Structure 1
Amino acid sequence: MQPQTRQRRFSRRSRTGCQTCRSRRVKCDETPGACKQCTSTGRNCDGYDLPRLPVGMKRRRQDLAWSGPSMRILLDLPGTNSDERRCFNVFQTYTVPMMVSWFDSEVWQQIVLQMSQAEPAIYHAVVALSAIHEDSDKAGLPPGAMDIRNTYHRFALAQYSKAASMLCKRLVSNDPQVRAVALMCCIMFICFDLCRGNYKAAFTHLQNGVQIIEGQIAKANRRHTFPQSLNSWSPTEYALTRVLLHLDVQSAHFGESGPLLHLHPVVLGEGSRDSLSLNSLKEVKQSLDPIMNNILRFRRSCEPYVRGDISGLFDISGASAEQRRIQAHLDDHIQAFEDFVLRRASYPADSKDARSIDLMRMQNEALTNILETSLVTSEMIYDGYLPVYKKITRLAEKIITSFQSEYGTHRPCIVMDMGVIPSLLWVCLKCRDFPTRHRAVKLLERWPHREGAYDSHLLVQIVKDHMVLEQPSAGDGVTANVPEYARIDSVMRVNTSGEE
């Protein structure tokens, strides 16, 4: 009797594993970059076949075209495929105008497009972000956590890895432009990782960008007696640094360190209080960023005192003096902003500018409240600011309604500037008037989107948990009198240990 021939059981060969695992016919764990199946056994992971996007995907966008002065570039770089070129076109046609929904930005409307022509690392980073945006646009939802089963996500991760690899090769050159390339890639990587909910990776890139900026400042200051302003940098590096500064301000609510940049007022561009004059909405935003940085840094420094942890060691008189100094700068900014609005009152404002003006007023109200209460040790004091919280929610509702009237369901789902979310979040946390608080939550739910590090969907869940703990009896819609002992002083830390 002849032995029975043993036959291999048929199984479909994986099309998504790395080339090494596929040739060995073993299951690949598909870790981005290099799989652990290879690296853990000392093998060289030969990488993955670049994913391709679905063919013939029809875009949803047939509504009003996004407005804004963006340049148009037709790229056909050697070695690129049709999917990459299509994503680049989507980026400049849809993603860029959406990114500047609040304020025009030369970084998004010019610099990143120009640098993509000469820098493959930036080009592939752009393609990666565009693929994430296109997928979220197709689904009608803001970007969420990465799903390796999603074709767009696999394609985006491959482009992201390709960009990182090309940047590493670029950094070893002595080209004077390499610093600007690194800063631009940092910005793109931050945006990509924020969109996929990976705060830890995003803020690692932010730290890298901050280190580049601080290194350049230290180098410049060694050659000068006085601190050098960012205004003395090249226009490109100055613009990129401003974007990183704005992203750094957002980091105050994430992790433990607060804003990373702690720079001399001259470096931040605060300038003299006697010379503040604002001539555009772009200048208004840039003027507010360093003040916002100082406000959030100051409030963070006061938290141990407010909690009673270091009451005997805290310099209350020094803190009060610093509070007055920052308040004076904020008051000057608000006055210069209102003077600017008054000067341009005779000119008709388009809907974008009108929203931006309302946004600045809303942020000024929130920042003033944050600063004024930084040394307050009782949560009961916030009850006296109900008119402020009602004004913030009114302005937010006006802005969201304007977006909805103009774009319907196609409102922006990704914006890197801080918009309505941080101010509404502040109302949700500090206002114990239930109708006003409930209205703020509903406004966050009404517009699912991401503003830089702020994910409206994630924050709504945090706020609802916060409200349940504080106001268990307020479900009937009646204002609840929350006693001091039941009030939560802060939930402004979002876990950044991994992907949300």
Structure 2
Amino acid sequence: MAPVTMKSATPSDNVDGHGRVKRFSKRSRTGCRTCRARRIKCDETPGQCTNCTSTKRICEGYEVCRIPPARGPRTAKASAASVCIQNPSLATLQRDISSRVQWKVTSDESRCLSFFQYRSVPQLVAFFDSPVWQRLILQLCYNEPAVFHAVVALGAVNQGHESARRRLAHNPRPAHRKTLQSQEEWYLFALEQSGRSFALLNKRRMSEDPYLQTVILVCCLLFVMCELLHRNIATAITHVQSGLRILNALKIERHVCGLNLTGPSAFDELVVESFLSLQGSSVFFGTREPLPVDQSFVFTQPYGVYLGDCTDGTGAGAGSCFSSLQQARKVLSPLQHTLWLFVAKCMHADDAERAAMYTALENQQHLLLTYFTRFLHVFDAFCLSTYGTTTFESACSRGLSGAEVNTAERRARRGAELTRLSVLSSILSVKNALLGAAQAQPPQYTAESIGVLDAAENAMRNVKADMHGDSPTLTPQSEIVPALFLAALRCPDIGVGCRAITAAREWGAEEGFLSASMCADILEEALRMRLQRGFEGAGEVLEGVSFDVRGDGRVTARILYDVHGEEKEHVVVLERNEALVADLLAIDGSRDWPCVRALGLLDHVL
């Protein structure tokens, strides 16, 4: 096939049919939304343009914010080609969206919508398939303008975040100010899109449309993810609580057959489950009055019978097994949601409050530990029979072709591995839940901490391998980050802390309300405090640690630790991380975070 070449314009190319020379100029990036969507030049009359009023069209006004112009090759669609090939139904749905949007769309909105489809969605489902993100939101996007603008907002924030991360990775210092300015442009555009979504929802607030409730909840989810990606924790909490207030008014109950709902579609239960998942990680950062749906199901109803009934009928004993990964995750879901609320309650309480509730909390701790242990026993049997492993250290083809292993089975294995990691970290979390704020983890749990850390690092490698070496930017589920944090926070083995910090920085993802980079900073600050006490002779003797005192008085700690027979080194300067302090002070309510209070990260700030 002959190569295609581009010829430059000649004088004859620029002459129209009447012999007049065409004048080409750079396309204007200003103008009202209506003219830009129609791709005609706007006269930009203040208020409403003459183009619209003279043709009796509604002038939608002028956008205050625009996103940076596109530069370089457009790779969004290409980057998701493999996702579309692997999931033809999703590819078809995405093509339909571009052609079926029933209102005028500007070029900026098209760019952000395309980015959401081809980049954001694959990252949002990096851990587990989700009909909410892969189907419901994409379907609503071209039928509901409020959802459309919320999707565009998330696509804009995500694109700005990835653009900034790439620029800082290549040239961190000189590009920092320009990068922040560019990221702010994306966020301001996203705020304007969110405002349009809010306005459309407010217009319909008195409507009796049975689907309006689902539309509002979906928009809430999108707003939450927007703010989390921009690290506006307090605003994200506000959106979560708005959604929870709607759900609380519905008097939702969980039964053995599922959630008791009276919504207009089966998707409603999936939306509720999405909120319950976000609620789990948000309760550590300010969410008040969470839905007690799963607590009552686990603590006051026979969850143990439910766990047994969901196996092959023999109960949760030897030989029983789940029939599918989806069934296993459905059984785990209420237990996982209950765990988050239980741990948050324990962490928010001070020592006196914890002592007053100790008997009740201890009973709940014992029940949770029993259920998680039984679940792990059954789930391991399922993994062995289905995947031939419980460690997932290497892919097993089980007789499938390479292409099949890399698509359906690899994704299923990834989900199973992350599910097992979640259970392992949950068991460790339950065991540590009733420890005092300054109390270290008992030494006999160190082996479990190392096991959780090993599993988390292995899951990181497998997820990144499936994503061509990248970590997801944002996921609604919190799986790897909490495992790293829980494994290290109270563990007496200083090497576990060093490994977790390194892994979290390498991972870099935003998992729900848990940021890998912020968790790494908090873990390192906790490690610094421990090293400071050791240097001053006020703490325990730390093996493998040496201190260097410079001429200016600065102290550096060098930590040597072992990772499966290989010696590693971690260096910590014994100075407070003022950047972390500034980040925390910029977040409303951060003083009340359990980890901030327990470590005294802001005690020195008045």
- The alignment's TM-score, normalised by the length of structure 2, stands at 0.65
Q: Deviations over 1:347-387 (max 9, x none)?
A: 56633333332222222121111112323447244322111
Q: Secondary structure at the match of 1:176?
A: coil
Q: In the alignment, does 2:490 pair up with 1:430?
A: yes
Higher strand share: 2
Instruction: Write the distance in 2 (CA, Å) between the matches of 1:381 and 1:148.
Output: 44
Q: Deviations over 1:294-347 (max 9, x none)?
A: 223223434577x53146633x44333222222232233223322332332365
Could you tell me how far 1:60 is from its partner in structure 2?
5.4
Q: In the alignment, does 2:364 pair up with 1:322?
A: yes
Could you tell me how far 1:231 is from its partner in structure 2?
5.1
Q: In the alignment, does 2:198 pair up with 1:164?
A: yes
- Do the aligned partners of residues 80 and 341 (structure 1) sit closer, same or farther apart at CA in structure 2, a change above 3 Å counting? same
Q: In the alignment, does 2:373 pair up with 1:313?
A: no
Runs of 4+ with >6 A deviation: 142-146, 266-269
2:441/2:491 contact within 8 Å kept: no
Could you tell me how far 1:176 is from its partner in structure 2?
0.8
What is the aligned-residue identity percentage? 21
Query: Which amino acid is 2:378 matched to?
Result: A
Could you tell me how far 1:102 is from its partner in structure 2?
0.7
- Do the aligned partners of residues 291 and 227 (structure 1) sit closer, same or farther apart at CA in structure 2, a change above 3 Å counting? closer
Higher mean alpha-carbon deviation, 384-393 vs 235-244, is at 384-393
Q: Secondary structure at the match of 1:230?
A: strand
Instruction: Write the distance in 2 (CA, Å) between the matches of 1:142 and 1:97.
Output: 22
Query: Which amino acid is 2:109 matched to?
Result: E
Could you tell me how far 1:57 is from its partner in structure 2?
4.8
Q: Which residue of 2 aligns with 1:35?
A: none
Higher mean alpha-carbon deviation, 363-372 vs 235-244, is at 363-372
Could you tell me how far 1:276 is from its partner in structure 2?
2.4
Could you tell me how far 1:478 is from its partner in structure 2?
4.6
Q: In the alignment, does 2:66 pair up with 1:51?
A: yes
Q: Which residue of 1 aligns with 2:118?
A: 93
- Structure showing greater Rg: 2
Q: In the alignment, does 2:329 pair up with 1:299?
A: no
Q: In the alignment, does 2:147 pair up with 1:122?
A: yes
2:137/2:218 contact within 8 Å kept: yes
Please list, as runs of the form range in 1=range in 2, the aligned pairs for 1:89-238 lying within 5 A after superposition.
89-140=114-165, 150-217=184-251, 229-230=258-259, 232-233=261-262, 234-238=265-269
Q: Deviations over 1:128-162 (max 9, x none)?
A: 10111122233345999985874322322211111
Q: Deviations over 1:230-274 (max 9, x none)?
A: 1554411101001000000011321274x7111255768957232
Q: In the alignment, does 2:431 pair up with 1:353?
A: no
- Do the aligned partners of residues 235 and 335 (structure 1) sit closer, same or farther apart at CA in structure 2, a change above 3 Å counting? farther
Could you tell me how far 1:94 is from its partner in structure 2?
1.7
Could you tell me how far 1:96 is from its partner in structure 2?
0.8
Query: Which amino acid is 2:425 matched to?
Result: A
Instruction: Write the distance in 2 (CA, Å) between the matches of 1:201 and 1:304.
Output: 21
Instruction: Write the distance in 1 (CA, Å) between the matches of 2:325 and 2:384.
Output: 13
Structure 2 regions of 5+ residues with no counterpart? Answer: 1-29, 32-44, 48-60, 169-175, 312-321, 389-397, 536-544, 546-556, 562-579, 592-606
Structure 1 regions of 5+ residues with no counterpart? Answer: 1-14, 17-21, 25-45, 480-490
Query: Which amino acid is 1:415 matched to?
Result: T
Q: In the alignment, does 2:271 pair up with 1:240?
A: yes
Query: Which amino acid is 1:424 matched to?
Result: L
Instruction: Write the distance in 2 (CA, Å) between the matches of 1:262 and 1:193.
Output: 25
Q: Which residue of 1 aligns with 2:429?
A: 370
Instruction: Write the distance in 1 (CA, Å) between the matches of 2:167 and 2:342.
Output: 32
Equivalent pairs, count = 441
Q: Deviations over 1:151-194 (max 9, x none)?
A: 32232221111111111112221111111111111111111111
Could you tell me how far 1:408 is from its partner in structure 2?
4.2
Q: Secondary structure at the match of 2:356?
A: coil
- Do the aligned partners of residues 291 and 264 (structure 1) sit closer, same or farther apart at CA in structure 2, a change above 3 Å counting? closer
Q: In the alignment, does 2:508 pair up with 1:448?
A: yes
Instruction: Write the distance in 2 (CA, Å) between the matches of 1:499 and 1:254.
Output: 7
Instruction: Write the distance in 2 (CA, Å) between the matches of 1:452 and 1:193.
Output: 11
CA RMSD of aligned residues (A): 3.6
Query: Which amino acid is 1:74 matched to?
Result: I
2:365/2:430 contact within 8 Å kept: yes
2:504/2:516 contact within 8 Å kept: yes
Q: Which residue of 2 aligns with 1:32?
A: none
1:142/1:413 contact within 8 Å kept: no
- Do the aligned partners of residues 114 and 256 (structure 1) sit closer, same or farther apart at CA in structure 2, a change above 3 Å counting? closer
Q: Which residue of 1 aligns with 2:604?
A: none
Residue in structure 2 matching 1:261, options 274, 291, 313: 291
Q: Secondary structure at the match of 2:250?
A: helix
Could you tell me how far 1:464 is from its partner in structure 2?
1.3
Q: Which residue of 2 aligns with 1:7?
A: none
Instruction: Write the distance in 1 (CA, Å) between the matches of 2:519 and 2:141.
Output: 34
Q: Secondary structure at the match of 1:375?
A: coil
Could you tell me how far 1:229 is from its partner in structure 2?
4.7
Residue in structure 2 matching 1:477, options 559, 567, 575: 559
Instruction: Write the distance in 2 (CA, Å) between the matches of 1:462 and 1:303.
Output: 16
1:448/1:457 contact within 8 Å kept: yes
- The alignment's TM-score, normalised by the length of structure 1, stands at 0.78
Task: Tell me which of the two structures has the higher relative contact order, counting C-alpha pairs closer than 8 angstroms and 6 or more residues apart.
Answer: 1
2:428/2:449 contact within 8 Å kept: no
